[in-house]
Amino acid sequence: MRTALLIVLLFVSASAFSKTVLVIGDSISAGYGVELEDGWVNLLRERLQEKGDYEVINASISGNTTTMGVGRTPALLKKHQPDLVIIELGGNDGLQGHPLKVMERNLSEMVRLSQEAGAEVLLVGIQIPPNYGSRYTQEFFETFPRVAAHFDVPLVPFILERVATVDDLMQRDGVHPTAEAQPLLLENVWPHLEPLL
C-alpha cells in the first residue's frame, strides 16, 4: 500500500513540474517538405527535453491563415492548457493578399485568448517578397511588432532571418526552408523563447 502511494505521489510531483509548449503555425512550423523529425519544432522539443520536463505540442497546419488559426485557438487552449504559446502565422495571409487589418485582429485575438488562458506568448514574425508592393510589404512587416507591443509579448522579428536569401537553404518554391535550414530557424526563435521558459 505504501509503495503504491509513493508511486502515485512521485507521479503527481513529476507532473507538477512539467510545462506544455503549444505551437500554432503554418507550413513553416509544420515542416512542409522536410521529414517531421528535422523540423524546427521537433528540434525545439529535443532541446527542451534536455533542459527538463517539457511537452511540445505542434498544432501547425500547412496553408493556415490567421483566420484559420484564431478559429482553432480556443479548442487547442482548452485541450492542451499550455504554459506557453508560440504563434507563427501570417505568411499565408500576406501571400494571398488578405487585408492586414484582419490579420492584425486575428493575431491580437490569438494572443489575448492565450493570455487569458494563463499562458505566456511568443509571437513569431515573417516577411513577404517585395513584389507585393512596397506599401503592403512594409505594413505587413509592421503588423507583428505592433501586436507584440500592444500585448507586451516578445517577438521573433523574422523566423527566416539568414535563411530566406540563401538559395541552398530554401526549397525550389522559394517559400519553404530546407531541412538544413531548420536548426537556423530554431536559433532565430531561441533567444526570444528562452527567457519565457
Active site residues: 27, 173, 176
Going from the C-alpha of 119 to that of each of 69, 153, 197, the distances in angstroms are 17, 11, 11
Going from the C-alpha of 153 to that of each of 16, 192, 195, 196, the distances in angstroms are 25, 10, 12, 10
Beta bridge partners of 23: 58, 86
**Amino acid (1-letter code) at residue 161:** E
Are 169 and 177 in contact by the 8 Å Cβ rule? The answer is yes
Q: How far apart are CA 122 and CA 22, in angstroms?
A: 10
Are 110 and 13 in contact by the 8 Å Cβ rule? The answer is no
